[in-house]
Every structure is written in structure tokens, then in C-alpha cells.
């Protein structure tokens, strides 16, 4: 015969299970606004039934023994989690590249009066003004001022491009430091998870923390996540996290690259060549993007200096018959080897009477502005290819070459912006699918709260009823005849 205490056990198991369900529901509600939190749910199953004997026809009979909590699980989709990590890498790359190009566009801002295109317009227009009859001292002063403005503008651009490159270099170091902090944190959480789950408990909340770090890491570099009892994470085939251990990567000044950082692996100092994420975009911006546009700006400077000097050195001023360059190399005051780093206005032209507007020699050349006319018309001379100063194969003039540079920066910016926006939209769709499964819905949790509360109250009623029955058996049965 089944014990009377069996019904009490059933009621107690029900109350305990519903209490745990209420705990899980309360935990979900408490973490509704916690970043990276995954909704949790409780799995219940009926306990193993007890045999109570045979029926009249000989069939074995059994009766339920209550309810058991199977586990407390997270609502996650493995495929969507992997998809997010993959797409995060692309988003991190294009976001970083977009930001870098936006800063580059600010440096080459030609919508202001101080832009290089405006300065070049003033320079060529000053020569055109000097070529007119009666140009005189005023026009020569304008030529001097506009030439100095050109020199100062391109040197200022070079300084800003140098600072831009240093900033990208510093960002690379900051990203590497953050990456090492993340991988160390993942290794520590691997240890915590292994320790907690070694006792048979699923460490759901700690797993959420680890997944949040992995998602952040996936924006920085291309990673491979090997899931088992713990996470093992590789970057370009090199394990940065292996169970409880992490191997740092280093940003090391490279003497062969002007002291800019190279990324090295652990103690071996092997090069790490990233193929995705924000770190790759920063390295490309520092080493390729900036160098490409700076080299083209340098070609423009060399073209202007050499072509103007070529004409200016064949003309004459109004004070003597000495032929002079307009631009010089600041290191030796010659016209040799002029580039963006050393270009300077010839100090011998501080006396504007030495500016070579005349084609004929001094004296008697006060009204001769033919050389100024040649220089003003040289603005339309095709001395550039798409990327270089080349008088033999030239197909672009000074303005066309510079406009091509600005246009290409804009095209790169649009490409990065469009790719970043498209990637962000894709991430948003993936995240929407993930959140539809793992996000906490307060409406649903409140419904569960009411449901489990009613179930708990019902289980408590069972316990009360069984308690009364047992009390009757203990205190009243057998009293008759005493």
C-alpha cells in the first residue's frame, strides 16, 4: 500500500518547482535591460512514478510522484550567434575605414577659403593679373603672397597627414591593448564556467558575459571560435585563447617602418597579418590609404615647383639680370629635389622686383610681362598622369590632377560609407532575429509570473490538504473504544 506521505511529497515537489520557475522569471525581469543577457527558461518533467501494486486483471499499476526541475537553459541560436560574429568582423572593418576616410576628407576640405584648390586658383590668377599691362609692384606682391600661401598650405597638409598617420598608429596600439584585455577576460571566464559547471550547474550568466566579450572581439579581428567545454579562439590560425590560458599579441615599434607599430605574436614575435576587423582597417589607413594620397599630393607639389621654376628661371626681374627659381629646397636653397617636405619660397624674391615677369633681360624690361603670361597659361599644361607628375605621358593639368585626387577620396569615402551602412543593416537583421529569441519580453514574463504563482498556490493547497489528512490519521484514527 502506498504511504500517505506520498501525496505530501508530490505537493512539496510542485511547490518547489514552481518556486524555482518564479525565481527564473524574476531573474529575467531583473535583467530586462542588461546588455548581452539571454532570456532563461526552466525545464520541468514529471518524476519517476511509483508502483502501487496490481489491478484486478493483473496489470501493474503506478502513480506519479510529482515534478522535477530538469535544467535552467538559455534561449540562444547557435547559427545566429556564429552569423553575428562573422558579420561583426565586416562591420568593424568598414566602420573603422569610414571613420578614417572622413577624417581624411576633413584634412583635404576644399570647401573653405583656405583649401588648396582656392590657394592654387589665387596663385595662377596672380600670374594672370601680373601678365596684364600695368601689373607692376602690386601684382608682383600678389604673386609673392600667393606663392607663400601655396607653400604654407601644402606643408600644413603634410603636417596634418603626418599627425593623421600617428593617430592611426596610436589607435592600433589601443586596439591591441583592448584585444589582449578581452582575450584575458575570456580565459578567466572559461575558468569560472568550468569550475561552476564541474558541479553540474550550467553557468548561464557567466556564459552571457563571455559571449559579449567574444562579440566585441569579433569586431576587431577575424576570429575562429572553437566551442567545446570551453571556448578556444584563434586569430589567423594562432590560438589566443586556449581554455583557461590566453596568449597576448603585441604592438611593437618596427625600425624598418619608421618606428610604426607592427603586430607580433606572443614570445615568438612572429608577424600577425590580420585579414578583417577594425585593426586591419586601421593598418590599411595608416600604411596604404594615407601613403597613396600623400604621394599624389607630393607629385602635385613637385610638378608645380618644377614647372614654375622651369619658366621662372628663364625670365628676368626689374633689378638685375640674374635668373632665379621661384621655389627652392629649404635644405640648400637650390631648385633640386624639391618635394612636399622641403619646399620653400625663394627668399631672394622677398624683393618682389626680382620676380621674373619679363622675358627680356634687365634693363628696359619694366613693361615686359611676357614671362608672367607664359606661367599663367602653363596652368592648362598636361604634365600629370592619374597618379604622378610625368611630362612625357601627361594627360592632366594641375587643376584636373588635384580634382582627381579629391574625387578619389570622395569615392573611397562613399564606398566605405555604403559598405558600413549595408553591413549595419545586415547586423540589425541578424540582431533582430537573435533578440526575438533571447531578449526578455516583459509581457511574456508577467504572464509567466501569474501562471507560476497560481501553480505554486495550487501546490500549496495540496500540501495543506495532505497535512490535514495525515493529522486525521495520526490524531483521530483508533480513538473509538478507548
Strand 238-242 with 231-235, pairing: antiparallel
pLDDT at 480 over 90: no
Helix (H) or strand (E) holding 387: none
More confidently predicted of 49 and 436:
436
1 has pLDDT over 60: no
Q: What is the pTM of this model?
A: 0.84
Q: Which grid coordinates are listed for 66?
A: 510529482
Q: Span 315-339, mean pLDDT?
A: 92
Q: How far apart are CA 72 and CA 54, in angstroms?
A: 37
pLDDT over 50 (residue 137): yes
pLDDT band at 424 (very low <50, low <70, confident <90, very high): very high
Q: Please list, in sequence order, all residues whose beta carbon lies within 8 angstroms of the beta carbon of residue 109, skipping any fewer than 6 positions away.
A: 115
Per-residue confidence (pLDDT) for residue 362, from 0 to 100: 82
Average pLDDT across the chain, whole number = 90
Distance between terminal CA atoms of the chain? 27
pLDDT, tens only, 261-276 = 999 988 778 888 888 9
Cα dihedral 408, 411, 415, 416 sign: positive
Q: Which of 3-7, 94-98, 336-340 has the lowest mean pLDDT?
A: 3-7
- Percent of the chain residues topping a pLDDT of 90: 69
pLDDT band at 66 (very low <50, low <70, confident <90, very high): confident
DSSP conformation letters of 66-77? -EEEEEEEE---
Lookup result for grid cell 515537489: 13
Separation of alpha carbons 275 and 203, rounded Å: 33
Query: Other CB atoms closer than 10 Å to residue 431's CB: what's the count?
Result: 15
Q: 315 pLDDT band (50/70/90 cuts)?
A: very high
**What would the mean pLDDT of 149-168 be, rounded to a whole number?**
95
pLDDT-based confidence at 464, cuts 50/70/90?
confident
Please compute the mean of the pLDDT values over residues 305-324 and round it to a whole number: 92
User: At 8, is the pLDDT very low, low, confident or very high (cuts 50, 70, 90)?
Assistant: confident
Q: What is the pLDDT of residue 482?
A: 53
Q: Cα separation of 66 and 48, whole Å?
A: 8
Q: In whole angstroms, what is the distance from residue 53 CA to residue 262 CA?
A: 78
If 0-12 CB within 10 Å is exposed, 13-18 middle and 19+ buried, where does residue 172 land?
A: buried
Question: Which range is least confidently modeled, 30-39, 205-214, 461-470?
Answer: 461-470
Q: What's the pLDDT tens digit per position in 355-366?
A: 998 898 888 777
pLDDT of 223 > 60? The answer is yes
- Of the ranges 153-157, 230-234, 476-480, which one carries the lowest mean pLDDT score? 476-480
Burial of 136 (0-12, 13-18, 19+ CB in 10 A): middle
pLDDT digits (tens, 9 = 90+) for 181-193: 999 999 999 999 9
Asked whether the CA dihedral 223, 229, 230, 232 is positive or negative, the reply is negative
Higher pLDDT, 479 or 203: 203
Amino acid at each position: 500500500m502506498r504511504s500517505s506521505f506520498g501525496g505530501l511529497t508530490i505537493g512539496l515537489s510542485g511547490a518547489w518547482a514552481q518556486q524555482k520557475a518564479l525565481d527564473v522569471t524574476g531573474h529575467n525581469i531583473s535583467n530586462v535591460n542588461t546588455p548581452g543577457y539571454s532570456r532563461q527558461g526552466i525545464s520541468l518533467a514529471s518524476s519517476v512514478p511509483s508502483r502501487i501494486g496490481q489491478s484486478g486483471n493483473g496489470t501493474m499499476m503506478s502513480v506519479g510522484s510529482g515534478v522535477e526541475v530538469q535544467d535552467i537553459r538559455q534561449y540562444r541560436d547557435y547559427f545566429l550567434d556564429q552569423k553575428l560574429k562573422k558579420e561583426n568582423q565586416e562591420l568593424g572593418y568598414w566602420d573603422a575605414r569610414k571613420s578614417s576616410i572622413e577624417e581624411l576628407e576633413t584634412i583635404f576640405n576644399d570647401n573653405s577659403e583656405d583649401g588648396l584648390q582656392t590657394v592654387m586658383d589665387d596663385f595662377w590668377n596672380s600670374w594672370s593679373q601680373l601678365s596684364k599691362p600695368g601689373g607692376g609692384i602690386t601684382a608682383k606682391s600678389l604673386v609673392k603672397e600667393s606663392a607663400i600661401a601655396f607653400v604654407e598650405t601644402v606643408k600644413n597638409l603634410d603636417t596634418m597627414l603626418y599627425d593623421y598617420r600617428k593617430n592611426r598608429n596610436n589607435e592600433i596600439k589601443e586596439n591591441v591593448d583592448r584585444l589582449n584585455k578581452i582575450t584575458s577576460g575570456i580565459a578567466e571566464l572559461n575558468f569560472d564556467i568550468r569550475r561552476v559547471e564541474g558541479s553540474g550547474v550550467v553557468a548561464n550568466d557567466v556564459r552571457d558575459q563571455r559571449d559579449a566579450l567574444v562579440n566585441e572581439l569579433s569586431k576587431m579581428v577575424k576570429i575562429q571560435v572553437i566551442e567545446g567545454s570551453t571556448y578556444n579562439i584563434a586569430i589567423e590560425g594562432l590560438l589566443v585563447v586556449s581554455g583557461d590560458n590566453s596568449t597576448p599579441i603585441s604592438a611593437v615599434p618596427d625600425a624598418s617602418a619608421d618606428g610604426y607599430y607592427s603586430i607580433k605574436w606572443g614570445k615568438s614575435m612572429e608577424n600577425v597579418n590580420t585579414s578583417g576587423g577594425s585593426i586591419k582597417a586601421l593598418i590599411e589607413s595608416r600604411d596604404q590609404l594615407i601613403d597613396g594620397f600623400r604621394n599624389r599630393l607630393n607629385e602635385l607639389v613637385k610638378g608645380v615647383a618644377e614647372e614654375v621654376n622651369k619658366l621662372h628661371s628663364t625670365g628676368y626681374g626689374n633689378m638685375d639680370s640674374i635668373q632665379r627659381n621661384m621655389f627652392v629646397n629649404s635644405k640648400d636653397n637650390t631648385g633640386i629635389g624639391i618635394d612636399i617636405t622641403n619646399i620653400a619660397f625663394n627668399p631672394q624674391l622677398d624683393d618682389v622686383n626680382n620676380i621674373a615677369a619679363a622675358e627680356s633681360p634687365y634693363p628696359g624690361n619694366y613693361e615686359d610681362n611676357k614671362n608672367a603670361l607664359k606661367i599663367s597659361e602653363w596652368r592648362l599644361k598636361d604634365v600629370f598622369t592619374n597618379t604622378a607628375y610625368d611630362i612625357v605621358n601627361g594627360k592632366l593639368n594641375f587643376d584636373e590632377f588635384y580634382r582627381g585626387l579629391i574625387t578619389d577620396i570622395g569615392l573611397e569615402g562613399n564606398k566605405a560609407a555604403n559598405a558600413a551602412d549595408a553591413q549595419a543593416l545586415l547586423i540589425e537583421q541578424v540582431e533582430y532575429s537573435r533578440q526575438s529569441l533571447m531578449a526578455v519580453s516583459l509581457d511574456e514574463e508577467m504572464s509567466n509570473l501569474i501562471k507560476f504563482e497560481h501553480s505554486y498556490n495550487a501546490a500549496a493547497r495540496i500540501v495543506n490538504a495532505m497535512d490535514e489528512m495525515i493529522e486525521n490519521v495520526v490524531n483521530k484514527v483508533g480513538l473509538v473504544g478507548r
